[in-house]
Chain A
């Protein structure tokens, strides 16, 4: 049967010039009409490949079918069976690399905009749906969840739905992990994360802030007090370049820059927490965090923001959409450019970044073509703020205080196929296991661990 071509419904976005001046959300979301129209583009495949592309196996054709029929709440319930955070995932998942990449429709015209419809459903549920009472009987099994980012929230939600008594421990004063300190407001509104966390609290999950596991409470205490422990404390120490001048003032990690702005609200005029407002900002790295930092710098009134990356456009790890948004807003890219050293003033403020040009050689271990220096190509970029966004290495706090936990050489927690660590009763997932990755992969790990814990505890 021939299928009629129907173009994909574009996500409406605010004007780049206007949005680069504030922190309000960039993408506006579908209205009901558009969501239904887009959902109708789904071919309802008998063997839906999109599902296999999703790390948490969302029942995509089913929820799209419900949306096409205008049954949004039903769609929400279908999504919730495997994904407790659709409003978040609809915004920050790299769908183009996952579900939408597998969508058969992509071979004909364009894949169904699954993420955009998921976001619509997630937002609808947060606004309209009453929290569903679980009919599952409360069990007396208690589970401690360390951290409150995507893997932990997912694990907590799954276990609570199965009747476990869950306590989430967060080191910061506010729950949400990378969703509140890392991803900026203009990409993921904080009120939305807060609603998700309130929902979890309403479902009976206890959330304890200001508690650093390995310091405020030890792993041994958690193991003694709880029937199982899930460690989802995320990535830790920021990676720096190891080049001359990194100790200069005005050189910060993306973690620090974004935490000051997002969690500590340093973008507000009256904020007590300071942040450097650079005029000519350089961001080193080209992942999603680098794009977030670059776009944040624009919104803090930088005159120029330059992303410096040693590989080429094709190799940039950030989502295409994020790169596109950044370019639209005026972020410049110096690709095939490697930082050599940072130069500072007498008062030790950074004044320039010395770089050299690269060219692409043979593929390396990662399969990406290895950048090779172009000799004699050194040049200088004038800058007063350098944001280093090269990823993170796992947080050492738990590993250092709890020696029986097996970790890799890099410090990542070792788990088996059920997300169980080398220690009985202790499970782990998310960036603490994989190193810096995506929200949805962390959620997948949290869900998997929850299933294993539930089975172990007989829930």
Chain B
């Protein structure tokens, strides 16, 4: 059992969970993920690690309550336990070859780019950060990014905060004004695809983090396979990060919807408190 030591509410239906998992914390690096199960009958769900504390033995994940398992998690309190918590899985982020970097976070993907922002600042090459969300309430980690980013650009789909528009609108403006050698984007697949369309045209290398469907997370099931440059790659062991310009986005987005009817059914059950 893995105790939840701290829960922080960041937005309606978005919470940050610091889970006590000392071995995972000890070995975790930015960009890796964990798989958890809430209870004995739970499904295995992957979450990207957004922070970890080797001394406290905690690993932090950001959870938006959008499906059955995340809704169950929404009912947990500090001191409650998760049944299973395994990781760190996948390969860590490697941006060591780049100097002028833009980090882009969409929705809860924002949490994933935060450790990168911190690390890049530590390395003396603080990145420009673009954070986008549907509305003001869903803008997260603003203060943290202000401290870690060279420049922080915020945008909301509905214009309820700072400016109206998408992360790609901001990105286009930045690419016109400045020179970058790498873009690192994490968020919903359609957002990452849109970012890649922009950067491909501009010829800027782009890394994305794939949140594919998976079961084991160790390469066994093959459910997370992604076509990258015409080759079959597994998000769990070869990724989760890939060259965004090489990904077959239409296939990846469609594969994400493989079980959407079942998911809708389960969501309904979770809503009824079953």
Most chain B CB neighbours (cut-off 10 Å) among A236, A237, A397 = A237
From A240, A274, A395, contact of B219 by CB (8 A): A395
Work out how many contacts link A and B, with CB atoms closer than 8 A: 114
If over half of A's interface residues share one DSSP class (helix, strand or loop), that class is named, otherwise mixed; here it is loop
Q: Is the CB of B166 closer than 8 A to any CB of chain A?
A: no
Are A211 and B220 interface neighbours, CB within 8 A? no
Are B221 and A273 interface neighbours, CB within 8 A? no
One digit per residue, 1 when the CB lies within 8 angstroms of any chain B CB and 0 when it does not, for chain A 374-416 equals 0000000000000000001001110010000000000000000
B: interface residue count bin: 35 or more
From B216, B254, B257, contact of A171 by CB (8 A): B216
Are B27 and A240 interface neighbours, CB within 8 A? no
From A209, A252, A271, contact of B222 by CB (8 A): A252
**Total interface residues on A, using CB and 8 Å?**
41
Chain B residue nearest to A174 in the complex (CB): B84
Q: Is the CB of A255 closer than 8 A to any CB of chain B?
A: yes
| A236 CA to B217 CA, complexed, in Å | 11
Q: Which residues of B contact A216 (CB under 8 A)?
A: 23-24, 27, 86-88
Q: Which residues of A contact B262 (CB under 8 A)?
A: 274
Are B220 and A237 interface neighbours, CB within 8 A? yes
Are A255 and B43 interface neighbours, CB within 8 A? no
Binds B, one of A189-197, A256-264, A450-458: A256-264
From B37, B227, B234, contact of A173 by CB (8 A): B37
Q: A215-B89, A216-B23, A397-B219 are in contact. Are A237 and B234 (CB under 8 A)?
A: yes
Q: Is the CB of A437 closer than 8 A to any CB of chain B?
A: no
Q: Is the CB of B83 closer than 8 A to any CB of chain A?
A: yes
Are B237 and A397 interface neighbours, CB within 8 A? yes
Q: Is the CB of B41 closer than 8 A to any CB of chain A?
A: yes
> How close is B22's CB to chain A, nearest CB, in angstroms?
10
Q: Is the CB of A16 closer than 8 A to any CB of chain B?
A: no
Which A residues are within 8 Å of any B CB, using their own CB? 171-173, 181, 209-212, 215-218, 236-238, 240, 242, 246-247, 249-250, 252-253, 255-256, 259-260, 264-265, 271-274, 276, 347-348, 392, 395-397, 400
Please provide the 5 A-B residue pairs with the shortest distance between their CB atoms, ordered closest to farther: A274-B262, A256-B221, A253-B222, A274-B259, A348-B254
> What are 19 of the A-B contact pairs (CB < 8 Å)?
A171-B218, A173-B86, A181-B220, A211-B23, A215-B87, A215-B88, A216-B23, A216-B86, A240-B222, A247-B255, A250-B258, A255-B220, A272-B68, A274-B262, A276-B259, A348-B250, A348-B254, A397-B218, A400-B237
Which B residues are within 8 Å of any A CB, using their own CB? 23-24, 27, 37, 41-44, 68-69, 83-89, 215-223, 225, 227, 232, 234, 237, 248, 250-251, 254-255, 257-259, 262-263, 266
